[in-house]
Amino acid sequence: MSLTTTQLSEHFGVSMSADFVISTLGITNTGKEKRAFLWDESQLADIGSALAAHVTARGMASVSAPPPKAPKKTKVSGGAADDLF
């Protein structure tokens, strides 16, 4: 069975373009219908493995904690600058 990029995206739960699957993941399409690129169902395991390797290489496999917030600046009164007014 042939799968379109829309079907691949739905299967893996991420949006993927044909260019991404071909160029970045290195999985060649098996056909083309009108303007849609097609992949064979037997390629799903290869696409999944390539996608996992891509995510891991990019460091997106785990979500890191947000950076700590900077301390709030406080206004100091009673100094020499207050004596000028």
Greater model confidence, 20 or 1: 20
CB 30 within 8 A of CB 62: no
Q: Cα 35 to the chain's mean position, in Å?
A: 25
Read off the pLDDT of residues 15-53 as tens digits, 9 standing for 90 and up.
Answer: 999 999 999 999 998 998 888 899 999 999 999 999 999
Classified as helix, coil or strand, 38 is strand
Query: pTM here?
Result: 0.65
Place of tokens 């799968």: 3
pLDDT value at residue 33: 87
- Split at pLDDT 50, 70, 90, the class of 67 is confident
Give the whole-angstrom CA distance, residue 32 versus residue 39: 9
Q: Which residues contact 47 (CB under 8 A, 6 or more apart)?
A: 8, 12, 21, 25, 27, 39
Per domain, the residue ranges of the chain are 2-57
Give the tokens for residue 70.
């900077």
